[in-house]
Amino acid sequence: MNRWLWCVVLGCVLLWAAPVQAQETADFLGAEGAPANIAKTLTKNMRKAIGKRKQFKLLPQNPMDISMARLTLGCIGDTPDCMNKIGTMRQARWLFHIRIFPAGSRVRALFRQIDAQTGKNFKEVVHLFKKNQAKSAHTELANKLFGDAPAPKRTVAKADDAAKKAADEAAKKAADDEAAKKAAADTDAIKKTADAEAAKKAADAEAAKKAADAEAAKKAADAEAAKKAADAEAAKKAADAEAAKKAADAEAEKKKKLALAQAATKKEPKVPLVQDPRFWGWIAVGVAVVSVAGVIGFGVDASNKQSDVSQKLQASQTTPINYKKDIQPIEDSGRTSAIMANVFIGIAAAAAITGGVLFIIKRPTPAAEATPTTSQQAQTHPTFVQGGTSLLHVAR
């Protein structure tokens, strides 16, 4: 029993949920055309009529009308591509749209159901009504499109049928003219928008180019000014250096001339001969030379006396001799010569050392002449040149 009860409950839930799941998102694009008041009335009433359909979930009214949507998406008229873009933007499965055309004293309304996925018409109906019947026209349009029972028909005379046919023809022609006019207006608006955008981009590019040119010109002018300033500074430094060099050359030339003049007029001071160490050095050298000659003379004499003694001693082996008479005087003379040779050796060494020292000693400076008077001294006068001060010495 419980199993059957649960099956019944589940079946009711499924039956209740099926219509809800079958709802498809729809968007009503409104009614457009002329007269505007009839389009406004049809838009208001048809939105209510579509909202009552359980198979559709009607989206809230879009604040942007269909003309603005076309302009935003860049599409023209009621082409499938344009309808597909609008449906994608609104995320709708179905689109509903009414286009009305004036037909004399009547109005012709074209009501379409559009597949948003393809942009093509799924179903469309036409209804012709008088202008004063705008409030009830939505009912007939809804009945024709959704397959509801039509409203009771009234009998119309054949004359009325002919007038109706002519009105339909006129309404169709007016609708075509209106569609062509609308398409041309939309195309012109899009073109104008594109032209305005292109003009704006061109103006921005031109302004950016001018700004870049101005910036480049400013940088070039700054670089040129900096170069000129650097050149001027370099020229000034070169002029200052040249002036300083000329002043230094003039000063050096003046000093040179003054030194030459002083050298020409000034007598070389002389040092007294007895105060010159070199004089005594040469005397010491002479003493040393004489002493060396004495060393040689006395040395030779001593050597000869020694030879004589040796010869006499050898001769005494065969011939008897007297020592005191023949040998002792020779030995005494040779000993004296040897002593003198040693003495002269000492004198020569002392003289040579003394001469060397005297030649090394610095020669005394001659006595300086009297200092020139104030009127004879060089006077210094400052002379100002560009970039600094140079001192030029002028002797008076």
Residue 377: predicted pLDDT: 47
Assess contact for 94 and 24: CB atoms under 8 A: yes
Residue 366: predicted pLDDT: 65
Distance CA 221, CA 212 (A): 14
Specify the pTM: 0.38
Decide the pairing of beta strands 106-115 and 24-33. unpaired
Measured over the CA atoms of residue 215, residue 221, residue 226 and residue 230, the dihedral's sign is positive
pLDDT by 10s per residue, the chain, length 396: 556 566 655 665 555 544 444 689 999 999 998 888 999 999 999 999 998 898 999 999 888 888 888 888 888 888 999 999 999 998 999 999 999 999 888 999 999 999 999 999 999 999 999 989 888 888 989 899 888 655 555 554 455 667 777 777 777 787 777 767 876 776 677 778 778 888 899 999 999 999 999 999 999 999 999 999 999 999 999 999 999 999 999 999 999 999 888 877 766 667 677 777 878 889 888 998 998 998 899 889 888 988 888 887 877 777 777 777 778 888 888 889 899 989 989 998 998 899 788 888 877 776 544 444 444 444 444 544 444 444 444 444
Q: Which long-range contacts (CB under 8 A, 24 or more apart) does 47-50 make?
A: 49/138, 49/139, 49/142, 50/26, 50/96, 50/142
| Both structure tokens of 42 | 């049809």
How many other CB atoms are there within 10 angstroms of residue 38's CB atom? 22
